[in-house]
């Protein structure tokens, strides 16, 4: 398949790759995992797609369905040795593409392959999120806001942590039930318990890592679910897991998601008219400025490159 990429988006991972924090990337690597575009040409044996179809490449091109396998890891787009999507044209096998939601523009759909799918996999596929649940998300970046939007659509209540009172307001407008400033309220776990009548939250998107993990455990309700996702404060959180046992709770490690998960997410996005939150758009020549913007943490939601 030859795919003409129309838009790409940045993830925190792209910053980690640029800084060499995810191992050495090949010199000349084409960055970014997340993009969307249309089919420009198909090979003779392609059966699934036609020229003009609106598609996105899978973050893990080989993880089409079923359980994750470690062998899928090295092919993750835009890292290590695997070129990504910051290109006018990419060549992919037909199985490595998924259709994008009809209701989204290319720019909006370009935010889904890593950020959207990770939040979906964590909350819906593994978490079984539903009405009456409570969700905690950390920050107002890509994964966190998708978590807020999916949870709101499922009639769950979401608490958003942010270092910015301005962003807390925007999160409330987007459907957050409660918010807290994790800078001015560093003991946010106490605040979470206070606003939940000391019950805690049933689902947590753990994005912080070592500095947030213990607070997440304390903010978790009995029988709750932590999705271990992020590394904002470093790799390798260490915790005394006895609380998990005492409250019959669970932790799932989450690593993006499969093509099957993506298809279900796209249907949900169409059905619930969810619009990914794009903070800023950049031209190709402005990619370095987009990296700087990501590093600054000023963004609310996603940063997108127009191609
Ligand atoms: N496991 C996976 O499959 C997977 C997939 C995607 C992402 N991730 C990881 O998940 C995390 C989120 O990724 P992303 O791309 O959504 O990030 P992002 O868009 O860059 O999010 C940045 C925002 O996160 C918030 N933040 C930063 N440090 C924080 C901290 N210590 N505590 C709470 N919030 C903090 C800030 O929000 P405020 O300005 O509101 O404070 C910041 O603006 C990253 O660690 C990333 O590596 C993992």
Q: What's the mean per-residue pLDDT of the chain? A: 97
Q: How far, in Å, from the CA of 160 to the mean position of ligand 1? A: 12
What is the full DSSP assignment across 98-151?
A: EEPPTTS-HHHHTTIIIIIHHHHIIIIIIT---TT-EEEEESSSHHHHHHHHHH
Same domain, 122 and 101: no
pLDDT digits (tens, 9 = 90+) for 224-236: 999 999 999 999 8
Same domain, 121 and 233: yes
pLDDT of residue 40: 98
Same domain, 32 and 150: no
Q: Which domain holds residue 219?
A: 117-253
Report if residue 261 sits inside a domain. no
pLDDT-flagged residues of the chain (< 50): none
Same domain, 9 and 94: yes
Same domain, 69 and 188: no
Q: Quick check: CB of 105 below 6 Å from ligand 1?
A: no
**Tokens 């998107």 map to which residue?**
205
pLDDT of residue 138: 98
Same domain, 101 and 149: no
Q: How far, in Å, from the CA of 52 to the mean position of ligand 1? A: 34
CATH label of the domain that carries residue 53: 3.90.180.10
Report if residue 259 sits inside a domain. no
Pocket test of ligand 1: the residue of 12, 21, 251 to mutate, having most ligand atoms within 8 Å of its CB, is: 12
Q: Quick check: CB of 162 below 6 Å from ligand 1?
A: yes
Atom number in ligand 1 closest to CA 229: 1
Same domain, 137 and 240: yes
Nearest to 216 by CA among 234, 235, 232, 203: 203
pLDDT of residue 58: 98
Atom number in ligand 1 closest to CA 302: 19
Report if residue 91 sits inside a domain. yes
pLDDT digits (tens, 9 = 90+) for 254-300: 999 999 999 999 999 999 999 999 999 999 999 999 999 999 999 99
pLDDT of residue 226: 98
Atom number in ligand 1 closest to CA 171: 40
Same domain, 126 and 245: yes
Please tell me the residue having the least CA distance from ligand 1 atom 26.
139
Same domain, 136 and 53: no
CATH label of the domain that carries residue 143: 3.40.50.720
Q: How far, in Å, from the CA of 139 to the mean position of ligand 1? A: 6
Same domain, 126 and 38: no
Same domain, 184 and 246: yes
Distances (CA, A) of 178 to 150, 152, 154, 160, 278: 16, 12, 16, 7, 22
């Amino acid at each position: 398949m030859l795919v003409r990429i129309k838009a790409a988006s940045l993830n925190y991972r792209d910053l980690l790759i640029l800084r060499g924090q995810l191992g050495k990337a090949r010199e000349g690597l084409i960055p970014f995992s997340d993009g969307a575009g249309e089919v420009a040409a198909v090979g003779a044996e392609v059966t699934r797609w036609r020229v003009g179809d609106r598609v996105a490449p899978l973050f893990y091109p080989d993880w089409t369905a079923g359980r994750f396998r470690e062998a899928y890891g090295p092919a993750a787009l835009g890292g290590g040795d695997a070129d990504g999507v910051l290109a006018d044209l990419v060549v992919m096998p037909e199985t490595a593409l998924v259709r994008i939601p009809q209701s989204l523009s290319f720019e909006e759909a370009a935010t889904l392959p890593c950020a959207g799918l990770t939040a979906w996999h964590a909350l819906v596929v593994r978490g079984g999120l539903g009405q009456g649940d409570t969700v905690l998300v950390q920050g107002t970046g890509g994964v966190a806001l998708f978590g807020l939007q999916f949870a709101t659509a499922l009639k769950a209540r979401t608490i958003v942590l942010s270092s910015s009172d301005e962003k807390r307001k925007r999160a409330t407008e987007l459907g957050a039930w409660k918010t807290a400033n994790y800078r001015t309220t560093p003991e946010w776990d106490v605040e979470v318990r206070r606003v939940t009548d000391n019950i805690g939250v049933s689902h947590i998107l753990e994005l912080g890592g070592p500095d947030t993990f213990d607070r997440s455990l304390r903010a978790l309700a009995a029988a709750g679910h932590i999705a271990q996702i992020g590394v904002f404060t470093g790799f390798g959180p260490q915790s005394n897991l006895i609380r998990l046992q005492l409250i019959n709770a669970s932790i799932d490690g989450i690593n993006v998601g499969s093509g099957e998960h993506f298809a279900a997410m796209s249907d949900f996005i169409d059905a619930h008219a969810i619009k990914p939150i794009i903070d800023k758009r950049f031209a190709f020549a402005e990619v370095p400025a987009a990296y700087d913007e990501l590093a600054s943490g000023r963004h609310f939601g996603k940063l997108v490159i127009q191609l």
